[in-house]
Amino acid sequence: MCPCSPRTLCHVKLIRYYHHHQVCLSSTVNDVPTSVDRLARCIADLAAWLSASQLSLNPTKTQVLWLGSKYQVDRITVRHVPVLSSSVQVVDSACDLGVVIDSHLTMVDHVTVVCCAAYFHHLLQLRLITRALSVDAAKTLVQSFITCHLDYCNALFRGITDSLFRRLQSVQNAAARLVTGTRRRDHITPMLRQLHWLPVRQRVEFKLALLVYKALHDASAAYLVDDCQLVSHASRRRLRSADIDTCCVPRTNKQLRDRSFAAAGLRLWNSLPARIRQPDNDIGEFRWQLQSFLFN
């Protein structure tokens, strides 16, 4: 049951995890003061609900973040939000389930964290011991300490700038050179193929296409399944695309919406060859065909 009272539920979404809660609300720039008041009331209701469960809300660990385009966020003048008896300053970025989200959703801060952790922590330590390891052992360590961070929530990288992709790719290139002993001036693409590692951009496409496949086969979260509607189900007429899983892509007029799962994921899905999108492909066959297609 939602702890917020009905008077604060308009445009408010509560997301609860076992260790923290998130209160999300949408607003126009002109309605920000009203939304802040609604947010404060919802937080007060949330604190009362936690108190009834013998828990307490810690205002010192509460963060407030505006999300939107640079033009929208720059027009917001509210820099402090009341949280119970405290005043919380609005931040430019916040960590959400291990992903650093910035106010403009550019993923710059998250890419910086991933690259710094890879270069100045994991790669430096692994370089000291790789000479004493076999190639398979070094490959396993790199996948455990570096590749997992490149792949974590990497569907969010869809639509980021090429410069950010180059920074992430440089991490994978350095990891591949560490495993294979390749010199810096040697071409890295043959080494990636030898290790059977997809480049970072293709890994993002692989993850996004796999999420769409699972959503179409009811093997994913309900909110992702609801975003994936087939053309054959939406049209009353029998179309030639009915024999192939082709999705209805919503129209978008903003760059941020183009990066959403409902837009970016379904556009990517429809761009795949028809043989990969066959409805009777099981997940193993789909993964193999998709990986082969992205490699080539």
Report whether pLDDT(219) > 80: yes
Banded model confidence at residue 3, pLDDT cuts 50, 70, 90: low
Tell me the average pLDDT across 143-149: 92
Report whether pLDDT(148) > 90: yes
The confidence score (pLDDT) of residue 252 equals 81
The confidence score (pLDDT) of residue 197 equals 93
The confidence score (pLDDT) of residue 18 equals 65
Tokens 């008041």: give the residue: 37
Report whether pLDDT(9) > 60: no
What separation in angstroms does the CA of 261 have from each of 14, 75, 105, 208, 232?
Answer: 20, 27, 14, 8, 20
Banded model confidence at residue 2, pLDDT cuts 50, 70, 90: very low
Report whether pLDDT(62) > 90: no
The confidence score (pLDDT) of residue 273 equals 93
Tell me the average pLDDT across 205-220: 93
Report whether pLDDT(7) > 90: no
The confidence score (pLDDT) of residue 198 equals 94
Which phi and psi (to 5°) does residue 96 adopt? -125, 105
43/7 Cα distance (integer angstroms)? 13
> Cα-Cα-Cα-Cα dihedral of 60, 63, 64, 68, to 10°?
170
Name residues whose C-beta falls within 8 Å of residue 179's C-beta, 6 or more positions apart in sequence.
130, 135, 138, 139, 142, 195
Tell me the average pLDDT across 199-212: 96
| Least-confidence region, from 11-25, 98-112, 246-260 | 11-25
What separation in angstroms does the CA of 273 have from each of 72, 158, 225, 238, 277?
Answer: 38, 20, 22, 21, 7
Contact 261, 155 (CB under 8 A): yes
Contact 208, 176 (CB under 8 A): no
Q: pLDDT tens digits, residue range 131-142?
A: 888 889 999 999
Banded model confidence at residue 4, pLDDT cuts 50, 70, 90: low
Report whether pLDDT(13) > 90: no
Tokens 């604190």: give the residue: 47
Q: Residue 242 CB: number of other CB atoms within 10 A?
A: 15
Most confident of 43-57, 113-127, 154-168: 154-168
Q: pLDDT tens digits, residue range 234-275?
A: 555 555 555 567 888 888 877 778 888 989 999 999 999 999
| DSSP state string for 239-267 | -GGGGS--BPPPP--SHHHHTSIIIIIHH
Report whether pLDDT(8) > 70: no
Report whether pLDDT(173) > 70: yes
The confidence score (pLDDT) of residue 233 equals 66
| DSSP state string for 63-86 | -EE--S-HHHHHT----EEEETTE
The confidence score (pLDDT) of residue 212 equals 94
User: What's the predicted TM-score (pTM) here?
Assistant: 0.85
94/239 Cα distance (integer angstroms)? 46
The confidence score (pLDDT) of residue 242 equals 55
